[in-house]
Amino acid sequence: MVLNRNSKQDLEDFKSYILVEKNFSEHTAKAYYSDILSYLIWLDEEACEGVNFTKVREYLHFMQKFNYKKTTVARKIASIRTFYKYLHRERKVENNPAENLISPKRPKSLPKFLTPHEIEQILSNINIDTPAGYRNRAILELLWASGMRVSELSGLNFGNLNLENNEITVFGKGAKERIILITDRAKTYLQGYIDYARSMIAKGYNLGPITDTTPVFINKTGFRLQTRMIRNVINDITEKLELPKKVTPHMFRHSFATHLIENGADLRVVQELLGHASISNTQIYTHISMQHMKEVYEETHPRA
């Protein structure tokens, strides 16, 4: 199959749009790109700009033969809808043919989280005797203390730091700016990393002067530490501990929110700290707390 030349260019422009303007994470942008590429391959030489609702719905019927999970189908529909929304914004199509597509209902599942004991177990098993180890401890301390996304942490520059007030400015989804708070312990590790470990991580490389746009977390060659490497760091640490859970960077975010609410934090405050556009996204953590309370009650109450 051959991609239509104009469609191929639309795809590349769309990729730049979701990465730069929409500020999608690399992981999400890669998934959306792959979804649209599959769709364009199915269209073959037909231009995506001339497609109507009936044609898009034909593609959904075609996808059924692959028995995708509902979550995967929902994401693919979201990808196509976003793609055509972009084309409409660029005035390449008169309307969005995917706008009225109905996504399958996603099964409701509660996010997995770590207990404070499990988090302390992970943190205490990081070897901080090496520059990279100290950096990794600072990273995980920040994730646990702030609830920031791993993409937000990777994107931190020195201009985002206000350590005197225990504040960090991050740019979340849609390039929305918010201020997050960090604990004194997280600040101590972050300051130690900046003062001592950071320059030794890229030993032999000229890092140049630190400016507001200089990345905070770097790899061994002095470039910005990417989200994939942060995931690898967490995998390496947790696999040695043989925890019963598959630990991801996002679990630190879930754990942060869950434990704040369990300890009486106002839902609106947690919403602001997480950068959720809607409080309905934050309310899921009250469900996690209730589930956890029931488990503790059943385990500890003599009549339960």
pLDDT tens for 171-184 read 887 778 899 899 99
27 as an active site residue: the answer is: no
Q: Where are the beta strands (DSSP E) in the chain?
A: 161-162, 167-171, 177-181
176 has catalytic annotation: no
pLDDT digits (tens, 9 = 90+) for 222-257: 999 999 999 998 888 888 887 778 888 888 998 998
The one catalytic residue among 8, 173, 224, 231: 173
**Residues contacting 143, CB < 8 A, separation 6+:** 150, 153, 249, 252, 253, 256
Q: What is the pLDDT of residues 107-131, one digit of tens each?
A: 666 678 888 889 999 999 999 999 9
Selected catalytic residue, list 135, 137, 253, 259? 253
Tokens coding 105 = 């209902």
The more confidently predicted of residues 211 and 265 is 211
Sheet holding 167-171, edge to edge: 161-162, 167-171, 177-181
Distance separating alpha carbons of residues 155 and 190, to the nearest angstrom:
15
Mean pLDDT of all residues in 34-63: 92
For residue 250, indicate whether it is catalytic: yes
Give the H/E segment covering residue 231: helix 227-241
pTM (two decimals) = 0.65
Q: Is 149 a residue of the active site? A: yes
Concerning whether 189 is annotated as a catalytic residue, the answer is no
Instruction: Given the residues 88, 250, 287, 292, select the one marked as catalytic.
Output: 250
Q: What is the pLDDT of residue 287?
A: 74
Task: Report, as an integer, the average pLDDT of 202-222.
Answer: 92
pLDDT for the residue numbered 212: 96
Q: Is 33 a catalytic residue?
A: no
Active-site choice (81, 149, 187, 259) = 149
Which pLDDT belongs to residue 175?
Answer: 72
